[in-house]
């Protein structure tokens, strides 16, 4: 198949669900395809609010939502595909399936619809770190030398808009980004300790911007009480957040997708891990990544001074 694709600009499809961190761990697959076939057209079937990161970063051309009703046909036995679905599947030279597909139903349906070739990779990480594990399907294309660091480029225009956003919030320099939330309360360092680190940062003369999401209402309210007027990025689209993060000095956060995003855009990162295994899910990036593992996986046992000592000094 690799040889067949040298004579034209190939079309690739990548199917990827999961959360933000899952998607970012899959970026090196897109990076490898873009490196091997710079003119390839890459489409992603996934969750647009996440997968648009790849489009903005030049790693894909388009995204189709897995939540569309007609996508259900790919998950059931004996599907009745529309002509448009058949045409879409057949238009790709190669399809990468990273959906949870324990009995191979999705793969079988893609082939039934006329897929030329389907390479499947399990989204369940079975050994080692997620990034090299997710790259394993590329070995079928004789692609072995790959970049093991997820990386997202942000355009100059997007960075300029991010600087304007920060300036409008009263931030004149490069702030420290602090994200006190995650997808699970068990992954969150106690909010009061984030408050203390933010207090120390501000007392040392450094600007701080809080990164907040839908699940962070309680900690957002506490930060507003403790630091009236603290600049906050509240539930920004991920593409906009990625741009703002590139204009930050460094980042502190829990084991979360936003922590992976900060690492992918090149920030020095301090990541706080509790019950999850950083040997599998630790963020990777081009700058310094400091992963602090809580004793016995209990984030309550991770003290403030340890985290403060790990914070990058002002650049």
Residues 6+ apart with CB under 8 A from 41: 9, 10, 11, 12, 61
How many C-beta atoms surround the C-beta of residue 26 within 10 A? 26
What pLDDT score was predicted for residue 5? 67
What pLDDT score was predicted for residue 188? 97
Q: How far is CA 219 from the centre of its chain?
A: 23
What pLDDT score was predicted for residue 6? 64
Domain at 156-310: CATH architecture: 3-Layer(aba) Sandwich (3.40)
Instruction: Give the global pTM.
Output: 0.95
What pLDDT score was predicted for residue 8? 76
* Ranges of each domain in the chain: 4-141, 156-310
Asked if the domains at 4-141 and 156-310 fall in one CATH topology, the answer is: yes
- Candidates 26, 40, 35; CA nearest to 137 is 26
Consecutive 10-residue averages of pLDDT for the chain (315 residues): 67 98 98 97 98 98 97 96 97 98 97 98 96 98 94 98 97 96 94 98 97 91 96 96 98 98 99 97 97 96 98 83
What pLDDT score was predicted for residue 4? 61
> How would you list the strands of the sheet with 250-254, edge to edge?
232-234, 208-212, 176-179, 250-254, 269-273, 289-293
Domain at 4-141: CATH architecture: 3-Layer(aba) Sandwich (3.40)
């Amino acid at each position: 198949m690799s040889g067949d694709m040298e004579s034209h600009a190939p079309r690739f499809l990548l199917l990827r669900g999961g959360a933000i961190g899952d998607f970012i761990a899959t970026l090196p697959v897109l990076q490898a395809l873009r490196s091997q076939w710079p003119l390839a057209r890459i489409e992603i079937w996934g969750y647009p609010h996440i997968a648009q990161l790849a489009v903005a970063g030049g790693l894909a051309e388009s995204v189709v939502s897995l939540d569309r009703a007609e996508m259900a046909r790919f998950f059931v036995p004996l599907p009745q595909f529309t002509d448009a679905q058949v045409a879409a599947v057949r238009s790709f030279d190669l399809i990468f399936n990273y959906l949870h597909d324990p009995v191979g139903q999705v793969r079988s349906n893609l082939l039934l619809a006329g897929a030329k070739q389907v390479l499947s990779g399990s989204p369940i990480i079975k050994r080692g770190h997620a990034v090299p594990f997710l790259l394993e399907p590329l070995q079928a294309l004789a692609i072995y030398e790959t970049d093991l660091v997820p990386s997202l480029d942000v355009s100059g225009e997007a960075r300029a808009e991010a600087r304007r956003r920060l300036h409008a919030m009263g931030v004149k320099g490069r702030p420290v980004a602090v994200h006190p939330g995650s997808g699970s309360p068990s992954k969150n360092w106690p909010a009061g300790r984030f408050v203390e680190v933010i207090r120390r940062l501000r007392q040392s003369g450094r600007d701080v911007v809080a990164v907040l999401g839908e699940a962070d209402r309680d900690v957002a309210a506490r930060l507003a009480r403790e630091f009236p007027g603290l600049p906050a990025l509240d539930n920004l689209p991920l593409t906009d957040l990625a741009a703002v993060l590139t204009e930050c000095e460094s980042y502190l956060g829990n084991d979360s997708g936003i922590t992976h995003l900060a690492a992918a855009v090149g920030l020095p990162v301090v990541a706080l891990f509790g019950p999850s295994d950083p040997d599998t899910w630790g963020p990777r990036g081009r700058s310094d990544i400091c992963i602090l593992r809580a004793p016995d996986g209990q984030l309550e046992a991770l003290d403030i001074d340890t985290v403060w000592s790990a914070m990058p000094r002002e650049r």
